[in-house]
């Protein structure tokens, strides 16, 4: 968990592919470890909780464009 907090602190954006509702990953997102960083997740019904927490949904074809940054 500490490694994930450090990685989130150093990152410009945080991408979580999936977090089960009762998982430590979901807890990590709920507790605000991501801070003011942009949180992204896959646009899938399984990620409804992450999206309700403010994660921005992305479809796989869009992901490279979003994570590559400005061209």
The pTM assigned to this predicted structure is 0.75
Which three-class secondary structure string do you get for 18-60?
A: CCCCCCHHHHHHHCCCCCCCEEEEECCHHHHHHHHCCCEEECC
pLDDT the model gives residue 48: 92
Summarize the confidence of residues 26-42 as an average pLDDT: 80
Q: Which helix (H) or strand (E) holds 6?
A: helix 2-10
Q: In what order do the strands lie in the sheet with 38-42?
A: 13-16, 38-42, 56-58
- In the predicted structure, residue 45 carries a pLDDT above the cut 90: yes
Categorize the per-residue pLDDT at 6 as very low, low, confident or very high, splitting at 50, 70 and 90. confident
pLDDT the model gives residue 71: 47
Mean pLDDT of the chain: 82
């Amino acid at each position: 968990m500490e490694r994930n907090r450090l990685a989130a602190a150093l990152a410009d954006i945080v991408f979580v592919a999936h977090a089960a509702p009762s998982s430590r990953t979901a807890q990590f997102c709920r507790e605000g470890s991501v801070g003011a960083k942009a949180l992204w997740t896959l646009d899938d019904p399984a990620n409804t909780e992450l999206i309700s927490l403010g994660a921005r949904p992305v479809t796989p074809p869009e992901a490279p464009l979003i994570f590559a940054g400005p061209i």
